[in-house]
Amino acid sequence: VPSVKAAEHYVIATDTTFAPFEFQDSSGNYVGIDMDLLAAIAEAEGFTYEIKPLGFAAAVQALESDQVDGAIAGMTITDARKASFDFSDNYYESGLQFAVAADSKITDLEGLRGKKIAVKTGTAGADLANKLKDDYNFTVVTFKDSANMYEDVLTGNSDATIEDAPVIAYAIKNGNLRLKLIGEKLETSQTGFAVKKGKNAELLAAFNRGLASLKSSGKYQSILDKYIGEDA
Ligand code: GLN
C-alpha cells in the first residue's frame, strides 16, 4: 500500500477586525495582510487551514490552551509572549501611537495627563498604557475589539486610545474613522505568526519557509502594497 501523506490541516485563530491585517471584504471573506500571507504560504507549502476570528485576547488564549494550532493577528513579538509562544520571523514592522478625536485639542502625550484611555484587552497597546498609567495619571478602560475602543473615543467617553499606528492610520484613511494620531510612534515592534511554545514546529517552519519565498518572489511586497500602498 503506497503511503500517501494527507496534507496537514490547521486551525488558525485571528482577531475579529484589525484592518489592514484582517477584515471582512464585502462578500464576508477574511482578507488583509495576515490573511493573504497565510493563504499564499499555505499554497506554497501544501497545507490547508481554517480561520477562527475569535478576537485578539481570545485568539491568544485559544493558542495557549491548545484549542488552535496557530495565531496570526498583527501580533507583536514580545519577550513576555515568547515565554508561551514560538514566533515566526518578523513580517511587518509596526509601532504604537495614541489617537484622539479628530476635533480634539490634545496634540501630544503631555496633553493626555489625567485623561481616560481606551485600550484593547491583552494587547501591546494596553500594556503600554498600563505602564504609563501612574506617571501620567491615566484611567485605563478596556474593550474586546478595536471598533468598540474607537467608539468610546468618538462618543467622548474616553479621551484617547492607543493601538498599532498602521491600524489606526488605515481606518482613518479607508474607513473614515474620525480620529487623529498624535505625538510620536512610541515603540517600534515586530509582528509574527505564533504557535504554542514547543508545538507545531512543522507549521512554524512552513510559515517561515513560505514567507522567505514570498519575500524573494516579490509576492510579499505586492501583498503589502495592496493594503498599505505608499506607506508600506
Ligand atoms: N499588535 C498588538 C499586539 O500584539 C495588537 C494586536 C491586535 O489587536 N490584533 O498586542
- Closest atom of ligand 1 to 21 CA is 9
User: Considering the chain, what percentage of its residues have pLDDT values greater than 70?
Assistant: 97
d(CA 150, CA 171): 10
Q: Which residues of 68-88 are buried (b: 16+ CB within 10 A; e: fewer)?
A: bbbbbbbbbbbeebeeebbbb
Q: Which of 125, 175, 184, 183 is nearest to 149 (CA)?
A: 125
| Ligand 1 centroid to residue 132 C-alpha, Å | 18
- Render pLDDT for 4-52 as a digit per residue (tens, 0 to 9): 667 899 999 999 999 999 999 999 999 999 999 999 999 999 999 999 9
Q: Which residues line ligand 1 (CB under 6 A)?
A: 15, 18, 56, 73-76, 120, 123-124, 164
220 pLDDT exceeds 90?
A: yes
Q: Which of 189, 174, 184 is nearest to 20 (CA)?
A: 174
> Please, which pLDDT band fits residue 133 given cuts at 50, 70 and 90?
very high
- Render pLDDT for 57-93 as a digit per residue (tens, 0 to 9): 999 999 999 999 999 999 999 999 999 999 999 999 9
- Closest atom of ligand 1 to 81 CA is 4
Q: Which amino acid residue places its CA nearest to atom 10 of ligand 1?
A: 123
User: What's the pLDDT score for residue 28?
Assistant: 94
d(CA 207, CA 133): 37
Q: Enter the C-alpha cell of residue 145.
A: 475589539
| Ligand 1 centroid to residue 2 C-alpha, Å | 45
Inter-helix orientation angle 219-228/33-45, to 10°: 160
User: What's the pLDDT score for residue 232?
Assistant: 47
- Render pLDDT for 105-115 as a digit per residue (tens, 0 to 9): 999 999 999 99
| Ligand 1 centroid to residue 134 C-alpha, Å | 23
